[in-house]
Amino acid sequence: MATQTPDSPAAAPAARDAERTRSEILAVATREFADKGFAGARVDEIAAKTRTTKRMIYYYFDGKEGLYISALEQAYTGIRALEQQVDVEHLDPAEAIRRLAALTFDHHESHPDFIRLVSIENIHYARHIARSEILAGLANPALDALSRILERGRAAGQFRDDVDPIDVHMMISAFCVFRTANRYTFSAIFKRDMLDPARRDHYRTMISDLVLEYLTAGR
């Protein structure tokens, strides 16, 4: 009798809490997969870094691949939720573009794990996204917002009329993703850390300028 510590306040086994166990596994797994990739991450190590055991990974996520997909889903739904909150309808079109670009810039900078998971998923030819029902049909609020901004900008004669929202989204993403995703090789070759805080504002402004000069070209 009394295998467990009687009543120790600190080292209590945290009782039973399915949700806490599940989310702790997911949080640790996200870090591990983002750090080492799908093949490089170790199920045993993920388990060791939680307060539970490996068996629970199989209990809740059905295996390594299921866990990886869940981590991806959580990361993507996170940025989608952020995008949903953005309200740029009341802003001048140019200012709205700036706001949207800055949002992407800030998100990517503060969520390197997300960017790394995306890189890793591309190495896997987006095979897991295709397999996930959640991710395959996830709407893109930022794209809708962008479409409306471009529409307004065109109507006001401020923006050129031959640009596609997806292309604009791509320009912004390319810049912001590259800065985070390719930070290490870039720094090794050019001896310049693109994430250096001293240069942060410079790049943050640059992406807006770049896109806006393009959108307003000849006007």
Q: Which of 133, 161, 201, 213 binds a copy of itself (CB under 8 A)?
A: 213
Q: What's the distance, Cα to Cα, between the start and end of the chain in Å? A: 82
CA dihedral 195, 198, 204, 205 (to 10 degrees): -150
Single out the segment in contact with DNA by CB under 7 A; choices: 15-23, 91-99, 150-158, 165-173.
15-23
Q: Which does 51 bind (CB under 5 to 8 A by kind): a copy of itself, DNA, none?
A: DNA
- In the bound state with a copy of itself, the residue whose beta carbon lies nearer, of 20 and 131, is 131
Q: Per CB under 8 A, does 121 bind a copy of itself?
A: yes
- In the bound state with DNA, the residue whose beta carbon lies nearer, of 26 and 41, is 41
Site residues for DNA, 17-36, by CB under 7 A, read 17-18, 20-22
CB 69 → DNA: shortest distance, Å?
Answer: 12
Token pair belonging to 171: 């320009």
Q: Which long-range contacts (CB under 8 A, 24 or more apart) does 141-149 make?
A: 141/80, 141/83, 141/84, 141/86, 142/83, 142/86, 142/100, 142/103, 142/104, 142/169, 143/169, 145/83, 145/86, 145/88, 145/89, 145/96, 145/100, 146/100, 148/89, 149/88, 149/93, 149/96, 149/97, 149/100
Q: Which of 31, 49, 54, 154 binds DNA (CB under 7 A)?
A: 54
Binding residues for a copy of itself, rule: CB under 8 A, are 36-40, 116, 118-126, 129-130, 135-136, 138, 140, 143, 166-167, 169-171, 173-175, 177-179, 181-190, 192, 194, 206, 209-210, 213-214, 217
